[in-house]
């Protein structure tokens, strides 16, 4: 039986669909293996997206979405005109800004420093120990923070014992300390884990560059600044762009565990507000509207940042 022959078309004039068909044919085993994951993504990531419609209806649990009254942008308006919105935005943006600055830079510095450690065993030990906080749950972390910072905690005990203060400092009940504690705890918890990707990038830097740098008279600082850092710049940029997309995410578990009523004015962020008003009360429409808004804004920021990056550095992650 003669094989059906394809009409040969120069590759430059192939359409996208032609390329897709060709890929299906030449890589069919890979496509077949990918079927379960594709189905999983369609079923669990795309299909539930129809639930976004809840944001435009007054959804009541137990009813179908289209059985509920259509209210348009009511939930968006009610969130944006809520008197609490300014406090929520302030807290969210403040803590995100801290995460995107201090929280973002710390793992990079840590990775650079760790890269300079000559002794391999010590390097691995430090690396392993630095990961461990990442695996500690927020509940346990909350207990540790309380042990350290409560009025009868370790830190106040030390300060009082050394005579540096004559009464306990209310770290956990004064709002002015909250953001500082938040970023310190987040850096402690995430610095090791986040540095993995930078260490991985650093390990991919060509040794010849370092040799050339040595010949040119660069010391360790010079090599870090002029070779290592520029080499991992694409990784930094990718993570930065993705980080910007999450600017309206400023923690959740942490605030519920460590926050209290005395400091609520400083820790109440969009997510905790949505949880309290939307999820706990069963008003899913409101929480869906707020989450949708956050996702759209986050996506827009990612696109914008990506465009700026492409214009200025010719690096992008999207197109």
Partner 1 sequence: MKKQGILAMVLVIVLLSFPLVSCSNTGSRGTEDGASTPAEGTPEATKPASVKTNVFGWEVPEKTLEITAFNAGGNYAPSEEQKTGRENMEKYILENFNVKLTMQTTDGDGTEALNLALASNTYPEIIYWMGYNMVLKFKEQGKAQDLTPYMDTIGKDIKEKCAETYPLLLDDDGKLYYLPIEQGALMELPDYSAHIRYDEWQQIGSPDIKTPDDYYNALKKILEASPKTPNGDARYAMSLYNTMDYPVNFSGYWGLKRGWKIDDNGTFTNWAFTDEGKEMTRWFNQIYRDGLFDPDAFNNTFDDWKAKFSSEKVAGAIGGWWISWNAGHEVWQTLDPNTPEDKRYIQVSFKAPEAEAAYLTGKQKYGNGYTIITDKAKDVESIMKFIDFQATEKGLALFNWGIPNGVTSYKDPARQVKEWNIDENGNWSFDEEAKKQFVNETWDYNDEAVVGNGTYNFFSSSNRWSDGEYCIWGNQMWYSENKWKTIMMNNMKGTIYDATPMILRQKDENVTLTETAISDAWKQGWPTCVQSNSDEEFEANWTALQQAMTGAGIETYTRVMEENYQNNMEKLSK
CB 46 to partner 1: min, Å: 16
Using rule CB under 8 A, residue 62 touches partner 1: yes
State how far the Cα of 130 lies from the Cα of 125, in Å rounded to an integer.
8
Query: Nearest approach, Cβ of 194 to partner 1 (angstroms)?
Result: 29
* Site membership for partner 1, residue 71 (CB under 8 A): no
State the first-to-last Cα distance of the chain, in angstroms, to the nearest integer.
45
Q: Residues 159-188 vs partner 1: string with x where CB under 8 A?
A: --------xx-x-xxx--------------
* Number of residues located near partner 1, criterion CB under 8 A: 41
Binding of partner 1 by 138 (CB under 8 A): no
Q: What are phi and psi of 204, to 5 degrees?
A: -90, 0
Q: Is 40 in the site for partner 1 (CB under 8 A)?
A: yes
Sole binder of partner 1 in the list 150, 235, 249, 316 (CB under 8 A): 150
DSSP assignment, residue 58?
Answer: T
Task: Provide the 8-state DSSP code for 252.
Answer: S
What's the rounded Cα separation, in Å, for the pair 67 and 58?
Answer: 10
Residue 84 burial (10 A CB sphere; 0-12, 13-18, 19+): exposed
| Closest approach of partner 1 to the CB of residue 158, in Å | 16
Applying the rule CB under 8 A, the residues between 72 and 131 that interact with partner 1 are: 82-84
**Computed from CA positions of residues 32, 34, 37, 42, in that sequence, does the dihedral angle turn out positive or negative?**
negative
Name 6's Cβ contacts closer than 8 Å, sequence gap at least 6: none
Which residues are at the interface with partner 1 (CB under 8 A)? 28-30, 32-33, 35-36, 39-40, 58, 60-63, 82-84, 146, 150-152, 167-168, 170, 172-174, 260-262, 264-265, 268, 276-277, 279-284
């Amino acid at each position: 039986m003669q094989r059906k022959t394809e009409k040969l078309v120069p590759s430059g004039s192939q359409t996208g669909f032609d390329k897709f068909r060709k890929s299906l044919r030449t890589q069919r085993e890979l496509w077949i293996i990918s079927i379960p994951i594709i189905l999983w993504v369609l079923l669990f990531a795309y299909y539930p997206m129809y639930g976004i419609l809840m944001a435009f209806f007054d959804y009541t649990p137990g009813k179908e979405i289209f059985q509920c009254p259509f209210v348009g942008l009511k939930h968006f308006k009610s969130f944006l005109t809520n008197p609490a919105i300014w406090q929520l935005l302030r807290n969210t943006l403040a803590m995100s800004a801290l995460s995107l600055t201090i929280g973002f830079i710390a793992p990079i510095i840590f990775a650079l420093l760790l890269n300079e450690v000559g002794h391999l065993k010590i390097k691995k030990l430090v690396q392993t120990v630095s990961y461990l906080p990442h695996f500690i749950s927020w509940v346990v972390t909350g207990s540790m923070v309380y042990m350290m910072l409560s009025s009868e905690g370790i830190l106040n005990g030390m300060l009082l014992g050394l005579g540096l203060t004559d009464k306990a400092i209310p770290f956990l009940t004064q709002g002015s300390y909250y953001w500082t504690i938040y970023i310190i705890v987040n850096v402690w918890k995430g610095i090791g884990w986040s540095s993995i990707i930078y260490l991985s990038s650093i390990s991919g830097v060509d040794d010849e560059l370092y040799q050339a740098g040595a010949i040119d008279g660069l010391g360790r600082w010079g090599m870090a600044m002029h070779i290592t850092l520029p080499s991992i710049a694409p990784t930094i940029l990718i993570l930065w762009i993705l980080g910007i997309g999450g600017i309206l995410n400023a923690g959740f578990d942490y605030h519920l565990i460590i926050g209290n009523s005395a400091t609520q004015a400083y820790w109440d962020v969009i997510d905790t507000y949505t949880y309290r008003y939307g999820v706990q009360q069963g008003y899913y429409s409101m929480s869906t509207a707020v989450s949708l808004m956050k996702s759209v804004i986050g996506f827009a920021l990612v696109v914008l940042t990506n465009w700026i990056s492409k214009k200025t550095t010719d690096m992008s992650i999207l197109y």
